[in-house]
A and B are shown apart, each in its own frame.
Chain A
């Protein structure tokens, strides 16, 4: 005699009954402010992300611009123009 439990009959396992038709596509109307709240949340998070990105990048941008300006001031082209004046 086998010690293993009898596996469920194929028909029993696959028979889940008829779907509940009244649930299909059931919707729940949100409040009139729902879309506005989503919009504001997205705009808020986008603004925060931009501020963070700017805060992170600003020092590097300032640093690069400073050295670019400095290099431009002491470049040979720049020295010639000063001499011509």
Chain B
């Protein structure tokens, strides 16, 4: 006879389980447990919002909206996946919807590749800009910003967020083969551009 362990068969071990349960059971107005979760994940959420949308000015606003959505959705969170995983899905949908709204206002489609000439100029300007303080994070940001949306987003979801190819495909609404192809191209492009920006950055420092 199986004893109930107090956990649903579909739930997984979650490092944040204790905080999530406390946040779900907290009295109205008591945000301490949820704020502890925010402090754990705010860096990742802001980074994703920053690099997925390529919008440093609104990254914190978007991250704030994601975390507020997570708070009000917490009562319905059944803990079938980990809190981090659940938060990632909210974050991805919110960022992708933001990009779609932005692209609806501008001429550039979410799927469109930006012109290579434009991208080259962006890399050069950014390398000079960071000549005085060349840090890895700045270079990474510059390279990601120079990539097209169709390559940047799968790369961020896969290599930054640790999502599987299937999860990325599902989140973006594209096929698995197309996802793998884009991630492959994105990785190659990232490496080429990063090397180029590094070399340009070093040259700018030396002169």
Interface residues of A (CB under 8 A from B): 8, 13-20, 22-31, 34-35, 37-39, 41-43, 45-46
With A23-B156, A23-B159, A26-B137 given, is the CB distance from A41 to B43 under 8 Å?
no
What would 4 more interface pairs be, CB under 8 Å, given A19-B159, A41-B64?
A13-B177, A17-B188, A23-B156, A46-B29
User: DSSP class of B's interface residues: helix, strand, loop or mixed?
Assistant: helix
Given B46, B59, B72, B165, which contacts A45 in the complex, CB threshold below 8 Å?
A: B72
Q: How far is the CB of A36 from chain B (nearest CB, A)?
A: 10
Contact B68 A30 (CB under 8 A): no
Contact A30 B60 (CB under 8 A): yes
Interface-forming stretch among B13-21, B34-42, B105-113, B119-127?
A: B34-42
Q: Using Cβ atoms and an 8 Å threshold, which residues of chain A touch B68? A: 38, 41-42, 45
With A26-B160, A45-B72 given, is the CB distance from A20 to B31 under 8 Å?
no
Contact B46 A30 (CB under 8 A): yes
Interface residues of B (CB under 8 A from A): 28-29, 31, 34-35, 38-39, 42-44, 46-47, 50-51, 59-60, 63-64, 67-68, 71-72, 136-137, 140, 155-156, 158-160, 162, 165, 177, 180-181, 183-184, 187-188, 190-191
Contact A35 B39 (CB under 8 A): yes
With A34-B64, A46-B28 given, is the CB distance from A26 to B187 under 8 Å?
no
Residue pairs across A and B with Cβ atoms less than 8 A apart, 12 shown, are A13-B180, A19-B158, A23-B140, A23-B155, A24-B159, A25-B160, A27-B46, A28-B46, A35-B38, A35-B39, A39-B35, A42-B71
Given A16, A35, A45, which contacts B183 in the complex, CB threshold below 8 Å?
A: A16
CA A34 to CA B188, docked complex, whole Å:
35
